[in-house]
A = this chain, B = another copy of it.
Amino acid sequence: MPLPEKALIERIRRHARIRASVIRGIGDDSAVLQLPRGQQALVTTDFSLEGIHFRREWHPPNSVGHRCLARGLSDIAAMGGQPIAAFLSLALPRKLPQFWVDGFLDGLLALAAKHHVVLAGGDIAESPAGVLADITVLGSIPARQAILRSGAKPGHSIFVTGALGEAAAVLQKLFSDGHKQIGKSEHPRHFYPAPRIEVGIALRRNRIPSAMIDLSDGLSSDLAHICDESVVGAQLEEVHIPRAVFANAPVDLQLALHGGDDYELLFTAHPGTRVPARVEGVPITRIGTIIRQPGIRLLNAAGKSRKISPQGWEHFRGKSK
């Protein structure tokens, strides 16, 4: 361990301002939390493993910390929920430099503070290999209002927030050029993605989505999850898929379709539901329709449709799984 466990815990404790909902945070066997009356609990956990989800030579430590928490916050956003507290299990190699640990915590705690999330517990261990982090996020949502993956029905429209493929385009460039060519601050959707918490809450409050998921694996994979859970299929309209701009040009369609780590929201809505063009300042684009026939089809500009397979990226290995 690069610093005594006690010192690390003390540092986290100082940063973690206790909110009313966190009765007891770091420093006991378990955290104790009070959910607001009438609310249900949301719980999600996500690994961030060196060599799998990030590379230390590519990602600055505060980006790794930010992304670690963003993965969990994005899952709460996808339910339409409010994140309350995070729990970090962190295993560190013996020779990790102190500045790296500090930077990781800086990135994680800055994102937590932005969303009023308390780091309320976790575990610290020595790592057998590389930096290993697992984030658990506890959120809350009014009873029976969680937006599930299973509510999509044939005829519902498919929408996506923001634009897709930037994170994957950065990844492709990292693989080809190495990290020196990439401006970290120019590509926040890769290095510092913003989980769409406010958008998710606004959509839920306005009862817009019939089903929702966050885009962590990629559009084709995550839409397939909605289709599986809702027992439906989907038809996407190629020309409407909003492609992010990278190096002064829209990203390749394949990156927008299959690239992961965008952390935008994908949702469906009944055709009678009015869906605004923007929610909380984020553009919302209609990209297709839920159909009865299983599988995902892509309709091109010429009106021809072909079946596409889910091709989620296996992060940082540069090939589809």
Contacts and interface: CB of A to CB of B under 8 A. Distances in A.
Interface of A: 23-24, 27-35, 40-47, 49-53, 74-76, 78-79, 81, 85, 87-89, 91, 120-123, 125-130, 132, 134, 136-139, 141, 143, 146, 148-150, 212-214, 229, 314
Contacts of A74: 29
B34 A40 contact: yes
Nearest to A140: B41
Contact of A29 (B28, B31, B53, B149): B149
Question: What are the 4 A-B residue pairs with the smallest beta carbon separation, nearest first?
Answer: A129-B129, A29-B78, A134-B134, A51-B128
A305 to B, nearest CB: 25
Provide the main secondary structure of the chain A interface.
strand
A120 B130 CA distance: 28
Contact of A128 (B79, B129, B212): B129
A24 B146 contact: yes
Given A32-B42, A40-B34, A41-B33, A91 B47 contact: yes
Contact of A91 (B49, B137, B229): B49
B87 A43 contact: yes
Given A45-B134, A79-B28, A125 B40 contact: no
B141 A32 contact: yes
